[in-house]
Amino acid sequence: MNNTKSLPKYRYQHGGRILRIVVLVFVILLVVGYLAVGAIAADKLTYAERMFTTDTPQAHGMSYEDVTLSARLDGLKIAAWYIPADVSQPAEKSSAIVMVHGWNASRTNAFNQHFIDLAKALHQAGFSIMMIDMRGHGQSANSHFTFGRLERRDVLAAVDYLLERGHPSGKIGLIGTSMGAASVIGAAVEDQSVGAVATDSLFAEIYPVVQGLWVKQSGLPMVFLYPTRWMYFVENGWDLASARPVEEISKIAPRPLFLIHCEQDTYIPHGQFQELEQAAPWAQTWSVKECRHAEIYEFVPDEYNQKMVSFFETGLE
């Protein structure tokens, strides 16, 4: 009789245990799936498109050398062009400028394939030029991009090369656009050999930019940004939110700095430019009213060339 009476209770306890197990498994699967989506997104969304054309400095009347650099610290192979100011003039007689493209671009197609036009303007003004493909871009080695945290090593490889070629410390300038701008800020902070820095479409901090573009760029709801950030850290060792040039830029002082931005930039709002202005009160600045992100050169090419040449002539004298 006692065993018969306890049977319903046993069945209830057994059924409750199964239900808890089912719920637990379901929750685990949800968490695993959530993190898996984040891992896939972190992997796919941090590889750049390989953009490269057959254009070369030679087609624009400039003699050049095709070189391969080793990124500082990790040795990643970086493709580059070295364009001497004058083949008959020793390097120590000329200042040099490193040009760094942005995300999903390269030395041949930044500024919608006008990057070499800017290089030519600077070259005609007497500067030696080095144009690089950042890691994971153009013809350089594969890599996730890190919004300037590791790409600065590629810029520093170019600085090392120029110093080895005889260009004097302090006579090396950097110009970068968007992610390339963040990279040159980081490189200048880490190496005092850099004498002057110009940035085009620089972000103050990347995470608000990622948040603003997340749904459009990823096609995923905002809720999946968080596991993507976590898995990005696991895969790359960097937190997305750690790319904050606004916290580094003051360390460039008192070296000359030129900040350029478009007031209608929908990727990096003009408010971020204003944050950078506040963090670098000694910097020369230029706001252009009508243009798209990192495409200022297309709207005012002659003025852009003139301002950039003038800045480096003064900053690297």
- Local confidence pLDDT in tens for the 317 residues of the chain: 455 455 555 555 656 677 777 777 767 777 777 677 767 777 777 778 888 888 999 999 999 999 999 999 999 999 999 999 976 666 676 899 999 999 989 999 888 889 999 999 999 999 999 999 999 999 999 998 899 999 999 999 999 999 999 999 999 999 999 999 999 999 999 999 999 999 999 999 999 998 888 888 788 888 888 888 888 888 878 888 889 999 999 999 999 999 999 999 989 999 999 999 999 999 999 999 888 898 899 999 999 999 999 999 999 98
Return d(Cα 284, Cα 16) in angstroms, integer: 70
Rounded Cα gap, residues 133 and 159, in angstroms: 14
Cβ contact 34:123 at 8 Å = no
Q: Which helix (H) or strand (E) holds 199?
A: strand 194-200
What is residue 232's predicted lDDT score, i.e. its pLDDT? 84
- The pTM (predicted TM-score) of the whole model is 0.88
Residues contacting 13, CB < 8 A, separation 6+? none
- Confidence (pLDDT) at 9: 58
Residue pair 263/170 in contact (Cβ under 8 Å)? The answer is: no
Distance CA 164, CA 91 (A): 10
Cis peptide before 84 (omega within 30 of 0): no
For residue 253, which phi and psi values (nearest 5 degrees)?
-55, 145
Q: Determine the Cα angle at 201 with ends 264 and 46, to 5°.
A: 110
Determine the pLDDT at residue 198: 98
- Answer whether 115's CB lies under 8 Å from 200's CB: no
Task: Name the β-bridge partners of 200.
Answer: 177, 260
For residues 57 and 17, give the distance between their C-alpha atoms in angstroms, rounded to a whole number: 72
Q: Quote the CA–CA distance of 305 and 66 in Å, as a whole number.
A: 24
Which of 123, 125, 104, 105 is closest to 113 using CA atoms? 105
What is residue 34's predicted lDDT score, i.e. its pLDDT?
Answer: 67
